[in-house]
Structure 1
Amino acid sequence: MNRLKEQFKKSASVNGSYSVGAIVLVLCVVVLVNMLASRLPESVRKVDVSDNKIYEITDTSKKLLKKLDQKVTVTVYAEKSSTDERIRTFLNKYQALSKNVTVKWVDPVLHPAELTKNNVSENSIVVSCKDTGKSDTITFDEILVTDAYAYYTTGSTDATQFDGEGQLTSAINYVTNDSQNKVYYTTGHGESSFSTSVQDQLDKNNVSSEELNLLMTSAVPDDCDLLIMNGISADLTTEEKDQIESYMKSGGDVMVLLGNIEGDVPNLDALLKEYGMQRVNGYIADMERCYQGNYYYIFPDISGDSDLMNGMSTQMVMMVNAQGMELTDPERDTITTTSFMTTSSNGYAVTEDSQEKGTYVLGAIAEETIEGEDVTAENEKDSDTETETVKSRFTVITSESMLDSQITDSFSTLENLTLFANAVTANFDGVQNVAIEPKSLSITYNTMQHTGLIGFACIIGIPIIVLIYGFQQWLKRRKA
């Protein structure tokens, strides 16, 4: 024992004991930090390093979840361990943003009766709100979206888009909201049908749509919250113009996207002029705000209120072969007309015979406050009458190409669909655009083209500098 005590008195033993104690202390600290970190919310614990930031949640969803005052249950009918990790991770991060969102997992293998009881299939998510009694079902295929074209051409079934945020935010907005808005889109004037991407924007905003031929009805339906003419290229009849005017004078909202108009359209032009807009001849080119020297591929200068700018980070919208307008005095003092999309000052209205330079309007909104008939107050003790005031909104975009799927699907960074969805929901009271586009799962390669001096420096310059430095060091040591 004395010999053992003498060994521990040596400096080497003392230093070794300190080292062991320090290692034990560090291990204890690491374990404690990990235990504390595991208690932090998912949004803090995990940093999104995925390509294209598929776990990054937009401000639109954060605002919705922050204002959420109803309990929402997200029930996942799938085996948790075998569920795609991207879905599991996103659900955890999404749940952490609100105390009113609860995620539950139901294993269909252990509880097969739950599928029949709730009328759902395996690999589905049911979003429900007890307060409203509403529910919405999302399948995994709607979150991990595959390219149908690639499947039929190459047989590939790999997901190309991740739509977790878009589907969940839309479902929560639906189950916690009692109202549903309806859009009618006109036919009979060369209009275009909505693309899948556009219809998806409407669905996510809880907006239903239905076709309407004005020649087959005497008036715009009473349940119409917004009348859309998408790509109108032929003139309205006098009766149709009268129906639209009557609808707007009673507080109705109308949106027009101009198509490839050839020839005279006096009734359509008269409707535009009534609200302070006048078409100019020819197609619009822009020498300054254009796509790679293609002057008819325009990036409009966008400005507007917060409703139109909601969720737009780049404000990059493309329009092709657009027509132009100039703002004039509306026919009534109650109408206020403002533009929200224009060309630069280097815009041109081009016809076969002329090129007129100017700043042209590519999108405008006319709003009118209408004083209705006097109505008697419901309270019998109050014999006073009050005037009912309604508002109408007339939105015009000068090219249907803004919704062309060949543009919206080919340029993922453009915000055409976001601006359209904002323009639609701006017509509804208390409704904000919550349609979030899917995020691409394609791999982004960090490549540099036409590197110039940078490429010369990396390929030749740096190696030469290293060689010269090495030669100097060798020569210095040799002389020493």
Structure 2
Amino acid sequence: MMRERLSQWSNTLAYAGLFAIAAGLVAALFMGKMGWVPGAILAVGAVLLVAAALGRPAEVRKALTGRRARYGSNALAMSLILLAILALVNFLANRHHARWDLTSAKQYSLSSQTIQILKDLKEPIKITAFFSPADSAQATLKDLLAEYTYHTDKLSVEFVDPDQKPAVARQYGITSYGTIVFERGARRQDTFGTDEQSITSAILKVSRDEQKGIYFLTGHKERDPEGSGDDGFSAIKALLEKNNYKVGTLNLAMTSTIPSDAAALVVAGPQTAYAEDERQTLATYLNGGGKLMVLLDPASGADLNSVLETYGVRFRNDLVVDIYSSFFGDPLTPLTARYPYSMITKDMTGLTSFFPYARSIERLGTTPEGATITDLVTTSDQSWGETNLTQRQVQKDAADTPGPLTLVAQVQKGNTRLVLVGDSDFAANNVLNSVRGAFGNADLFVNAINWLAEEESLIAIGPKTGDVRTVFLTPSQMRLILYSSALVLPAMVLFVGLLVWWRRR
């Protein structure tokens, strides 16, 4: 009697069971977990399906043992095998995954310098970003920080809405949206920048206990690290500060004491001569294992060769002319994209550096014992060093120095390190602001400072600014695009449609 009633209601019970199972799955999906409500609904659905099967056992047995069932079981087995393969591939991809950035400027990849800094982290750093959910910058920052956490397990990231958690905002002393706090133990560093340079700079500052000083010499019309004009070095100062250096100035005519936190001194384009006492202070500093970078322009009144010759190098009194390899055809602005391997240039392959109005560097006949001299930037074989600096037209003659000539050199003798550059314009504001990171001038300068300061782990290509590309079209090209998209393509679709209609009519 019971079986007959179940047989009469089996179809209804089956549909109700399927509906209950579907409803249970939907409920679990919306709740985000398998709670007791979705579980109860799924259980009711299973009971209804079992009751439907008990009402018509013969039909169920036939369905499970017939030809269609066998074919269906084979298809089910193949589907399960396919799902198992996909699950295995997904598991392996999650454990051993790789990513590729196919953009030409690698705009979705961290720079090699940032990756090196992340690999060198020894202690965990907590990043707390205070953003409103409506702020579009939050999504961009999340994607960027995901790249950081991909390369190290020392970073933890938390986003906090100051409106939803005002107590946390007060605890951190947050007064404005967009504040990003970096913490390592008791050290803290705040920033508002959401680009790679700002994030990496903050990580670098909070991860280090000391801040090394880079001092620019003054008193002889040198380049001013505070100067924001075309001939100033404020852009270089900003880059050095992003690398966690403290940038200051030092006048050796006022004091012969080198600051204790000085990692390196920089002589940037002096125009007047140094006094004997100042040169002696520099010589004493170098003899004690000091680090010095000298950028000297042609016809400069500052002669430091008496200090440099002790280390087997000196500046020539010439003007480099390079017709073969020059910046946009200007023979007085030599450029290069090839560098010998050194700690300063090891990551600069493919980057071009140029040097407006440069002088050359020469080695003395005998290299001092224990000294290592490396030519970092050289000109082409067709270049020469013009020694007649008064004539208006330059031309190669017997008195000139034939190429190739050295524009940048590094010297190491014991703990003493020097970098010589026959030009100071290459790192001036007007040059760096005009090329906007497209050339390697800034990287070369910062890498040289990192080597002098014995911060070799920071020597790499730094973060780049966003690459904005604009397509300029002539009027004829714009008309071609307009007519081809608005007329030609629709006409082709219409023609194909008419052709198909004509054949089928």
TM > 0.5: yes
Change beyond 3 A, Cα 1:51–1:83: farther
Cα offset for 1:334? 4.2
Q: Distance in 2 between matches of 1:51 and 1:303?
A: 23
Is 1:210 the counterpart of 2:248? The answer is yes
- Counterpart amino acid of residue 261 in structure 2: D
Q: Distance in 1 between matches of 2:465 and 2:313?
A: 39
Is 1:339 the counterpart of 2:375? The answer is yes
- Spell out the pairing of 1:29-108 with structure 2 (5 A cutoff): 29=83, 40=94, 48=101, 52-80=105-133, 82-84=135-137, 85-108=139-162
- 1:321 alignment counterpart: 357
Is 1:259 the counterpart of 2:314? The answer is no
Q: Distance in 2 between matches of 1:414 and 1:243?
A: 35
Q: Distance in 1 between matches of 2:380 and 2:351?
A: 15
Cα offset for 1:76? 0.8
Q: Distance in 2 between matches of 1:336 and 1:91?
A: 41
- Counterpart amino acid of residue 163 in structure 2: V
Higher deviation after alignment, 213-222 or 300-309: 300-309
- 2:47 alignment counterpart: none
Conserved? CA contact 2:344–2:459, under 8 Å: no
Change beyond 3 A, Cα 1:441–1:335: closer
Is 1:188 the counterpart of 2:224? The answer is no
Cα offset for 1:323? 0.9
Q: Distance in 2 between matches of 1:77 and 1:401?
A: 41
Conserved? CA contact 1:274–1:330, under 8 Å: no
What count of residue pairs does the alignment treat as equivalent? 396
Map Cα deviations across residues 21-66 of structure 1 (whole Å, 9 max, x no partner). 78x959x959x7699589949x959765667433211233223323
Cα offset for 1:400? 0.7
Cα offset for 1:354? 5.5
Is 1:281 the counterpart of 2:317? The answer is yes
Aligned match for 1:358, one of 393, 397, 403: 403
- Counterpart amino acid of residue 171 in structure 1: A
Cα offset for 1:446? 6.5
Change beyond 3 A, Cα 1:313–1:83: farther
Cα offset for 1:207? 0.8
Aligned match for 1:124, one of 138, 156, 179: 179
Change beyond 3 A, Cα 1:190–1:260: farther
Change beyond 3 A, Cα 1:87–1:35: farther
Q: Distance in 2 between matches of 1:51 and 1:358?
A: 35
TM-score, length-scaled by structure 1: 0.71
Is 1:424 the counterpart of 2:449? The answer is yes
Map Cα deviations across residues 204-260 of structure 1 (whole Å, 9 max, x no partner). 221101111111113323332211111122211111101100111111111111135
Conserved? CA contact 1:365–1:396, under 8 Å: yes
Larger relative strand fraction: 1
Change beyond 3 A, Cα 1:29–1:187: same
Change beyond 3 A, Cα 1:318–1:430: closer
Q: Distance in 2 between matches of 1:183 and 1:337?
A: 23
Cα offset for 1:125? 1.1
Q: Distance in 2 between matches of 1:197 and 1:437?
A: 14
3-state DSSP of counterpart to 1:248: helix
- Counterpart amino acid of residue 349 in structure 1: G
3-state DSSP of counterpart to 2:407: strand
- Counterpart amino acid of residue 197 in structure 1: A
Bigger Cα Rg: 2
Q: Distance in 2 between matches of 1:117 and 1:435?
A: 37
- Report the RMSD for the aligned CA atoms in angstroms: 3.9
Is 1:246 the counterpart of 2:284? The answer is yes
- 1:375 alignment counterpart: none
Is 1:303 the counterpart of 2:339? The answer is yes
Map Cα deviations across residues 177-196 of structure 1 (whole Å, 9 max, x no partner). 22321111111112112334
Aligned match for 2:206, one of 175, 180, 184: 175
Is 1:222 the counterpart of 2:275? The answer is no
Cα offset for 1:396? 0.8
- Counterpart amino acid of residue 419 in structure 1: L
3-state DSSP of counterpart to 1:109: coil
Which 5+ residue runs of structure 1 have no aligned equivalent?
A: 144-162, 370-390, 450-458, 460-473, 475-480
Q: Distance in 2 between matches of 1:33 and 1:296?
A: 63
- Counterpart amino acid of residue 350 in structure 2: T
Q: Distance in 2 between matches of 1:183 and 1:440?
A: 24
Q: Distance in 2 between matches of 1:246 and 1:189?
A: 20
- Counterpart amino acid of residue 108 in structure 1: P
Q: Distance in 2 between matches of 1:364 and 1:112?
A: 56
Change beyond 3 A, Cα 1:366–1:36: closer
Larger relative helix fraction: 2
- Counterpart amino acid of residue 403 in structure 1: A
TM-score, length-scaled by structure 2: 0.68
- 2:190 alignment counterpart: 137
- Counterpart amino acid of residue 439 in structure 2: L
Q: Distance in 1 between matches of 2:103 and 2:173?
A: 34
Is 1:290 the counterpart of 2:326? The answer is yes
Q: Distance in 2 between matches of 1:430 and 1:307?
A: 10
- Counterpart amino acid of residue 112 in structure 2: D
Structure possessing the higher relative contact order (Cα contacts under 8 Å, 6 or more residues apart): 1
Conserved? CA contact 2:432–2:442, under 8 Å: yes
Q: Distance in 2 between matches of 1:65 and 1:338?
A: 30
Q: Distance in 1 between matches of 2:383 and 2:473?
A: 33
